[in-house]
Structure 1
Amino acid sequence: MRVFVAGGAGVLGRRLVPQLVARGHQVMATTTSSAKSGMVERLGAEAIVMDGLDAGSVGEAVAKARPDVIVHQMTAISGKPDIKHFDRWFATTNRLRTEGTDHLLAAAEATGVSHFIAQGYASWNGVRTGGWVKTEEDPLDPTSTGKGAKALRHLEDAVVRAGGAVLRYGAFYGPGATDDQVELVRKRQYPVVGNGGGYSSWVHLDDAAGATVLAVEHKARGVFNIIDDEPAPAREWLPYLAECAGAKPPMRVPVWLARPLAGQTAVTMMTEGRGFSNAKAKRELGWQLRYPSWRQGFKEELA
């Protein structure tokens, strides 16, 4: 197929494009800067410079590419994590998940693109009632990440309504995905908050890319949790990450102190977060993970 990857130069796009090419697909991948065109071409794709927040730029790029499927991987997450100011940190990503999604869907409709896949998120942001592990039938927490939660809801509603698929990826790790977090861990600036009982789900970039290829080839529709087999509380995965990174164990900070220092989002993630189940993706897409657990993946990546 002719596959248009919006955000092909991003951390996941750089793992996804080669997998699509290896499967025989013709890939057109976008970047916001011509300076990255060479890197995209070395991955095996045709590079297209596009501004995902400009409807005209998006429409022109999609019309030129004439794809069979659009894969929306546009985000703007870089630099030191700033969970305390989550809305500010994610401001451009939230726009890409709302305005950018709308621009891509409009371009798909205008050019007759029959299938659409978009990047969602499901790590610790399941609704904070009931059990610790959620399926696709459970809603996301509407207040977990401030404006980010509204942006994700907009993306999911728009894409599913258009007959596409939303892949709710867990927290990424792998080449280039967790460098900033690991640096904080090594500096002991990433503590366990409270009892650390909040759950998170992880996924290696290569496994996330593999699931995306399957969603393209199966012309998947609906919502899928793309995460590994082992949702786990912060008190387990964070000390293990520190150990794998050769760092001292993370400090422990009480909730009352963490709230003003790190913000409510960090407290919620660490103490009340809900992880997710991948049973649907494995069943309906035939997805098999190279890294079934973050335990194996963290150890290999940080060896």
Structure 2
Amino acid sequence: MTTNQKSQSILLAGASGVLGGHITRALTDAGHKVTGLGRGPANGVRADLMDRDALPRAVDGQRFDTVIHAATALRQAPMRHRDMYATDALRTDGTAHLVEAAQATGARRLISESMVFGYGYGDFGDHVITEDDVFGPRGSTPELERHVEGMRVKEQLTFEAAGLEGISLRFGLFYGPGGTDAILPMLRRRQLPVPADHGRLLPWIELTDAARAVAAAVEHGRAGQAYNITDRTPFGFRAHVLCVAEEFGLPRPMTVPRWLTRPMSYAHTMFATNMRVSSAKAERELGWTPVHPSCRDGLAALAARR
């Protein structure tokens, strides 16, 4: 296990997002100093990752030990493929610009948020995906290739950045404080129809558990390594939504045939995806374990706090 210095100075791109807020708290609790990077006024470094000229000026003269890329353009769950385009661009062009900025600040380490869908979209059957599986295979359609390419390029830029120890964290689907809240009004108004799972499973990760994994990677991650960050219990998408409804006392979602979701092209693809992912490497090397081993546990804890 690699152990890096405590009380690091960390630049966090995406600090104002839902995951970024949790990461900030986890790093601060671990004794690190966090500076946000983003366009909003709450950030210590005001800059747009997509502006290659302005970003170096924004960090000029500043020094950081570690830079974390957790920026996303998503403000709600993506329904159509085009909802992912801005985030795809952040993963390619935005990462390239952030690498240059990180190098300019003298940072030693770069940690990038990635997703398990970088292994591809589709039915993986009973195979349990580990970090030894191919990451970034060519997408089966032009739209899916656009998304997978974003994750593939982001990792390549992270691992190949000169002078930086690159680490990638491949997260499951997020839920939890600040994430699950968005679907509660939809369930309450019966506006969230979902298809049956038919045995399809997906990997999940509660947001505070995800943030703790980032903090663990800052201190214990090995350079050049990727880590899957998921809980221990894959859940079908409909099963997850049913669990939300049960825990919060809301109406069960209506079941619809999957073909009816075709206008929601990205969601339609997600509903057909079946994958089991192991986070054993992260548990072993980072000294991290999910507090919530399943989304049922995490949702029960979330509902109890409300």
Tell me, yes or no, whether TM beats 0.5. Answer: yes
Q: Equivalent residue of 1:60, what SS?
A: helix
Partner of 1:115: 109
- The alpha-carbon distance between structure 1 residues 126 and 177, as it changes in their structure 2 partners (threshold 3 A), is same
Could you say which residue in structure 2 is the equivalent of 1:226? 229
Q: Give 1:141 deviation, angstroms.
A: 6.2
The answer (yes or no) to whether the contact 2:15–2:70 under 8 Å persists in 1 is yes
Are positions 1:151 and 2:158 aligned together?
no
Shift of 1:166: 0.8
Aligned position for 2:241:
238
- 2:195 aligns to what? 193
After superposition, the C-alpha distances for 1:140-194 in whole angstroms (9 at most, x for unaligned) are 5643863222211110121122340111122212221122233333333333324
Which residue of the partner structure matches residue 44 of structure 1? none
1:71 — aligned with what? 68
The counterpart of 1:180, out of the listed 167, 178, 182, is: 182
- Which range moves more in the overlay, 16-25 or 120-129? 120-129
- Structure 2 gap segments, 5+ residues each: 1-7
Q: 2:131 aligns with which of 132, 136, 141?
A: 136
Contact 1:69–1:116 under 8 Å retained in 2: yes
With normalisation by structure 2, the TM-score equals 0.85
9-18 or 267-276: which moved more? 267-276
- Indicate yes or no: 2:7 matched with 1:6: no
One-letter identity of the residue aligned with 1:254? P
Please state whether the residue corresponding to 2:45 is helix, strand or coil.
strand
Answer yes or no: is the 8 Å Cα contact 1:127–1:141 preserved in 2.
no
State how far apart, in whole Å, the 2-side matches of 1:141 and 1:194 are: 27
Tell me which amino acid in the other structure corresponds to 1:288. Answer: T
Counterpart Cα distance in 2 of 1:262 and 1:142: 22
Measure how far apart 1:242 and its partner are.
1.7
- The aligned counterpart of 1:292 is 293
TM-score (norm 1): 0.86
Please state how far the C-alpha of 1:75 moved relative to its aligned partner: 0.7
Letter of the 2:206 counterpart: H
Equivalent-residue separation in structure 2 for 1:232 and 1:141 (angstroms):
24
Other structure's SS at 1:168 match: strand
The answer to whether the 8 Å contact 1:3/1:68 transfers is: yes
Unaligned residue ranges in structure 1 (runs of 5+): 38-46
Q: 2:172 maps to which residue?
A: 170
Residues 127 and 277 of structure 1: is their aligned pair in 2 closer, same or farther, counting only changes over 3 Å? farther
Could you give the per-residue CA deviations for residues 28-58 of structure 1, whole angstroms, max 9, x where no partner exists? 2123122x34xxxxxxxxx221111111332
1:125, distance to aligned residue in structure 2 (A): 4.9
Which of 81, 89, 107 is the matching residue for 1:86?
Answer: 81
